[in-house]
């Protein structure tokens, strides 16, 4: 099996993008307003992280009408879900292979 350090997908290293991926992995979809609030970011910062994930093929967005106003909804693509699961697997493997004081390998 490949070294878990080599399997890390760098796009998820940034905490806001990691939080966005985790939120969408758990909840399947979320509005811009929800994401912005959950990652505690400004409009500009949230938009930049979301666009980076879209450009990488990890997210998709669509416009919806809710009541009298439009909103943007985001979700992970199949690639995004697969890559996030691989990232989680690499983190888990790394943590389980790291010796801790008092723990036998």
Q: What is the pLDDT of residues 41-78, one digit of tens each?
A: 999 999 999 999 999 999 999 999 988 899 999 999 99
Q: Which domain holds residue 59?
A: 8-94
- Say whether pLDDT at 104 is over 60: no
Q: Into how many domains does the chain fold?
A: 1
Q: Please report whether residue 13 resides in a domain.
A: yes
Residue 2 resides in a domain = no
Global pTM reads: 0.83
Task: Outline where DSSP puts E strands in the chain.
Answer: 29-31, 59-66, 69-76
Alpha carbon distance 103, 34 (integer Å)? 40
What is the domain-level CATH number for residue 84? 1.10.10.10
How many other C-beta atoms can be found within 10 angstroms of the C-beta atom of residue 30? 19
Q: Which residues are CB-contacts of 59 (< 8 A; sequence separation ≥ 6)?
A: 20, 24, 50, 53, 74, 75, 76, 77, 80
């Amino acid at each position: 099996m490949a070294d878990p350090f080599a399997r890390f997908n760098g796009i998820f290293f940034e905490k806001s993008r990691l939080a966005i991926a985790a939120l969408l992995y758990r909840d399947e979809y979320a509005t811009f307003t929800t994401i912005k609030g959950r990652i505690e970011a400004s409009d500009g910062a949230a938009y930049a992280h979301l666009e980076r994930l879209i450009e990488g093929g990890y997210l998709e967005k669509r416009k919806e009408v809710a009541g009298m106003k439009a909103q943007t909804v985001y979700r992970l693509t199949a690639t995004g879900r697969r890559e996030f699961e691989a990232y989680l697997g690499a983190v888990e493997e790394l943590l389980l292979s790291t010796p801790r004081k008092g723990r036998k390998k």
